[in-house]
């Protein structure tokens, strides 16, 4: 298992071309947030916007429209029960994030099936939270796309059948190869299983054990894969690293880290990365 280092941030977060516009940095469509879990998709959407995606649209329960816009006017809204609109938004996306707060009832299932029916192999599809649980429980086939699962250990147990105490590197690798997808197995020292390598995140803090922390990561992965779409595999690794690097920084002065604080810190943190020369280390930054 190879340990991720801050080098991944320097590799991925480079200065933006002068001759660019919002379309240069990709479109993210996020789908989730039922009547009870609106916060999950709002946190994911905030993360995608703050990570630098060019355009972000959030397909969610109607009741989340005003809360979304009051927190995040940069995001556009769609009603996730409008199948035609969601299909169009999914087809138009560079990256699709599905699952944060989606829920596990019949309506959640129909929405998930509609999303999965409309992805294609050119897109990054980040499958998180309820979407993983629904796939496992309802035996739903994996959709088209560059698939990135972001399960916590229980979601990985549901999806892979490997019990939490038995999730060894070898077993996880076999399950990941069978899926033909990237797996970000979230825990203390998250592991990332890619087509040809297994990475471990050596940073991160228990101050991150807060609801919404994974929803935020899913949004960063969506934002980075859209923005840095010429190197989607590295973008996933950088997203995982930046999420915990910022959290560690905040945790120097806070007992817990609120997920939205990570998102709000992203633009300034990324600016510092952009300026870094190869011989500088993030540890020197304040
Ligand atoms: N503010 C919100 O709206 C929030 C909504 N959420 C959404 O709620 C839905 C259900 O997700 P949950 O993860 O809460 O529920 P799940 O039922 O999927 O998973 C939680 C269960 O897994 C067990 N578990 C074992 N190892 C774990 C690990 N390493 N990390 C986390 N759990 C572990 C827990 O003990 C618990 O029994 C998802 O769609 C999620 O996105 C959560 O993100 C919490 C915040
Ligand atoms: N003790 C810990 N140390 C480091 N990271 C942690 C710790 N506890 C939780 N995290 C991180 O927080 C996130 C939790 O994700 P998840 O359980 O999906 O949260 P939620 O669904 O509530 O948003 C993951 O990125 C995980 O790695
Ligand atoms: Mg989660």
SS3 23: helix
Pocket of ligand 2 (CB under 6 A): 129, 152, 186-188, 190, 204-206, 208-209, 211-215, 217
| Ligand 2 site-directed mutation target among 204, 218, 243, 261, most atoms within 8 Å of CB | 204
Span 105-118, pLDDT tens digits: 999 999 999 999 99
CA neighbor of 167 nearest in space, from 147, 152, 177: 152
> Which residue, judged by its Cα, is nearest atom 18 of ligand 2?
214
Q: What is the pLDDT of residue 274?
A: 82
- Are the C-beta atoms of 44 and 30 separated by less than 8 Å? yes
Span 170-189, pLDDT tens digits: 999 999 999 999 999 999 99
pTM over 0.95: yes
Span 55-73, pLDDT tens digits: 999 999 999 999 999 999 9
The fraction of the chain above a pLDDT of 90, given in percent, is: 95
Span 236-263, pLDDT tens digits: 999 999 999 999 999 999 999 999 999 9
Pocket of ligand 1 (CB under 6 A): 37, 39-40, 99-102, 129-130, 133, 152-155, 164, 187, 211-212, 214-215
Strands 146-150 and 124-128, by their bridges, are parallel
- Residue spans of the domains in the chain: they are 2-274
Q: Is the CATH number 3.40.1190.20 carried by domain 2-274? A: yes
């Amino acid at each position: 298992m190879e340990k991720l280092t801050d080098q991944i941030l320097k590799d991925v977060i480079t200065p933006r071309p002068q001759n660019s516009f919002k379309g240069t940095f990709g479109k993210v469509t996020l789908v989730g947030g039922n009547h009870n879990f609106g916060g999950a998709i709002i946190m994911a959407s905030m993360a995608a916007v703050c990570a630098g995606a060019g355009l972000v649209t959030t397909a969610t329960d109607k009741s989340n429209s005003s809360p979304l816009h009051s927190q995040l006017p940069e995001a556009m809204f769609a009603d996730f029960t409008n199948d035609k609109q969601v299909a169009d938004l999914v087809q138009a996306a560079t990256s699709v994030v599905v699952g944060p707060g989606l829920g596990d009832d019949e309506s959640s299932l129909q929405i998930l099936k509609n999303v999965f029916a409309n992805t294609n192999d050119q897109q990054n599809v980040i499958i998180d939270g309820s979407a993983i649980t629904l796939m496992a429980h309802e035996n739903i086939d994996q959709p088209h796309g560059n698939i990135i699962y972001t399960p916590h250990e229980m979601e990985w147990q549901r999806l892979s059948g490997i019990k939490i105490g038995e999730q060894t590197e070898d077993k996880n690798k076999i399950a990941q190869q069978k899926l033909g997808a990237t797996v970000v197995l979230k825990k203390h020292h998250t592991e990332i299983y890619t087509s040809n390598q297994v990475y471990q995140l050596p940073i991160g803090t228990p101050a991150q054990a807060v609801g919404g922390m994974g929803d935020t990561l899913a949004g960063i992965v969506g934002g980075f894969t859209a923005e840095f779409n010429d190197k989607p595999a590295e973008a996933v690794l950088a997203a995982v690293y930046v999420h915990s690097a910022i959290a560690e920084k905040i945790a120097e002065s806070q007992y817990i880290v609120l997920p939205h604080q990570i998102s709000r810190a992203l633009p300034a943190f990324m600016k510092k990365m952009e300026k870094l020369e190869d011989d500088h280390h993030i540890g020197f930054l304040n």
